[in-house]
Amino acid sequence: MYRVLKPTGRLYISDPITTVPIPEKLKNDERLRAMCLSGALSFEDYIQKIAAAGFGIIEIRARRPYRILGKRQYGLEQNIVLDTVELVATKTPGCLLLCG
């Protein structure tokens, strides 16, 4: 998305994030993939990937509880808590040279 935005263009996005890494068996779960949950990243990893893409200004608009993947339902040692994060990322000219 960075590539198609004009300088100072903004990306508005909302994605699920997780408090613990998603186990490999859940990453391959077709149902979770269809719900866009199997690839959820930690908040830190998510923000780092947005910044690494060249977005120099990242404004977190909201972070809300979203869903719990239950330990019994998915055969886990503990529940996995998913939040949703809403952000606005601004394409900053020259940031790939300075920020990445």
Per-residue model confidence (pLDDT) at position 11: 94
Which residues, including other chains, have CB under 8 Å from residue 82's CB and lie 6 or more apart? 16, 17, 18, 19, 37, 40, 66, 67, 68, 69
Residue 94's pLDDT is what? 67
* CATH number where 75 lies: 3.40.50.150
CA 78-82-86 angle, 5° bins? 165
**Domain encompassing residue 8:** 2-98
pLDDT by position in tens, the chain (length 100): 777 889 889 999 999 999 899 999 999 999 999 999 999 999 999 999 999 988 989 999 999 999 999 999 999 999 999 999 999 999 987 655 445 4
For the whole model, what pTM was predicted? 0.84
Task: Work out how many domains the chain is built from and give that number.
Answer: 1
